[in-house]
């Protein structure tokens, strides 16, 4: 199946420098780490907040959304990691396309995953790359800090090798291209494939302020941000139409946050709304116990461990204070992301250190 690619580029600034990328040698696969955030929600965040980070493309169940041209650099991997240099002879930001998977909340994972797979195949076809050797997980390049997208894929029953196989199959299906041979470590295979169907450029860039009468994906993402912040839209929900209900919710949000109450979503209101929904987790929000805990233990300390694991997307099941098989499995899955941790399912000082690092990141 072919999918549309929407190109809606953010403005230049900290997130988009405009610097030209070199030869594209590989793809770095990410996930957003912010469950429920959509492709357009991320685009709006990077366009308005301009953090010193970015990615080329965000994918959810509705959009493959390129926010930075593939001819320009994006800041999606720390420059001081060495895995990309040893594998590909270049920093990721200089020679790779960064692709983010949106997940969680109301996002249909299977539909988002299908687009994610197809787009990786599209990039392999466009840049003459081999999925077996030229796609790498962010977690592989920065294993002490990142688990994406391996952990999210695993929670849906998909291993990294299964994902790569899916990309290779999608690439083979581009107009009956010949199957890929496994890549040799010293001389990766560069199969020739026919071009995928042309992408569709929708030109959906919008300008602020957004007000009553406007409609479209930007409006829907504003509505979703309002709902996430606790401002209900009981009659129409996130329908992409800026009506009276949405205007009233915007005005209430503005009043609660000491903003000018005009019902218009301009830069100030949008920035504040995104700040509310992107606040960093503090240590006081998720206290972690000291000591060692394992299967069979019970009590408030175990609840703290379970809450923290759930916050960083390693679901331990019920937050019941019982260190049972589900909690043990969640700890094991978390530990498996870090070479420095034993994969034993036992919570101790080292595991505590890395959970805290993820919570504070």
Residues 6+ apart with CB under 8 A from 207: none
Q: What is the pTM of this model?
A: 0.58
As a whole number, mean pLDDT of residues 100-125 equals 93
Which has more confidence, 255 or 200? 255
pLDDT in tens, 202-214: 444 456 788 999 8
pLDDT in tens, 260-296: 999 999 878 887 887 776 554 455 567 899 999 999 9
Residue 101 DSSP SS3 = strand
Nearest C-alpha neighbor of 137 from the set 31, 15, 24: 31
Residue with tokens 């100030």: 268
pLDDT > 70: what percent of the chain?
87
Residue with tokens 């403005």: 11
Cα gap 289→184, rounded to integer Å = 47
Which has more confidence, 355 or 174? 355
Q: For residue 258, is it left (φ>0), alpha (ψ between -120 and 50) or beta? A: left
Domains in the chain: ranges and CATH: 6-172 (3.40.80.10), 221-277 (1.10.101.10), 300-360 (1.10.101.10)
- The residues with which 6 forms a beta bridge, in sequence order, are 65
Which pLDDT belongs to residue 199? Answer: 44
pLDDT in tens, 179-206: 333 333 333 333 233 344 444 444 444 5
Q: How many CB atoms lie within 10 A of CB 14?
A: 13
Quick one: tokens of 65?
A: 């959304």
Residue 4 · residue 202 · CB < 8 Å: yes
Cα gap 8→65, rounded to integer Å = 7
DSSP3 helix / strand / coil % (the chain, rounded to 5): 40, 10, 55
């Amino acid at each position: 199946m072919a999918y549309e690619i929407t190109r809606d580029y953010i403005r230049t600034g900290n997130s988009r420098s405009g610097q030209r990328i070199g030869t594209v040698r590989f793809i770095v696969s990410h996930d957003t780490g912010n469950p429920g955030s959509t492709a357009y929600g991320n685009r709006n965040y990077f366009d308005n907040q301009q953090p010193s980070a970015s990615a080329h493309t965000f994918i959810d169940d509705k959009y493959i959304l390129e926010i930075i041209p593939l001819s320009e650099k994006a800041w999606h991997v720390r420059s001081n990691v060495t895995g990309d240099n040893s594998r590909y002879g270049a920093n990721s930001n200089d020679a790779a396309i960064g692709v983010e998977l949106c997940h969680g909340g109301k996002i249909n994972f299977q539909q988002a995953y299908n687009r994610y797979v197809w787009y990786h195949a599209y990039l392999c076809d466009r840049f003459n790359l081999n999925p077996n050797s030229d796609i790498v997980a962010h977690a592989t390049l920065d294993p002490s800090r990142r688990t994406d997208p391996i952990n999210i894929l695993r929670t849906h029953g998909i291993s990294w090798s299964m994902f790569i196989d899916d990309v290779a199959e999608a690439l083979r299906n581009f107009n009956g291209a010949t199957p890929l041979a496994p890549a040799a470590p010293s001389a990766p295979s560069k199969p020739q494939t026919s071009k995928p169907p042309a992408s569709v450029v929708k030109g959906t860039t919008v300008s602020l302020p957004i007000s009553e009468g406007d409609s479209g994906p930007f409006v829907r993402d504003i509505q979703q941000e309002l709902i996430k912040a606790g401002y209900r839209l009981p009659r129409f929900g996130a329908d992409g139409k800026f009506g009276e209900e949405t205007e009233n919710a915007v005005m209430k949000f503005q009043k609660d946050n000491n903003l000018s109450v005009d019902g218009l979503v301009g830069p100030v209101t949008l920035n504040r709304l995104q700040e509310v929904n992107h606040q960093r987790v503090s240590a006081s929000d998720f206290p972690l116990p000291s000591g060692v805990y394992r299967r069979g233990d019970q009590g408030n300390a175990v609840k703290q461990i379970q809450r923290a694991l759930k916050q960083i997307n390693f679901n331990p099941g019920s937050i019941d204070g019982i260190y049972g098989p589900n909690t043990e499995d969640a700890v094991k899955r978390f530990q498996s992301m870090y070479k420095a941790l034993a994969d034993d399912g036992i919570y101790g000082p080292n595991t505590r250190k890395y959970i805290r690092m993820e919570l504070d990141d």
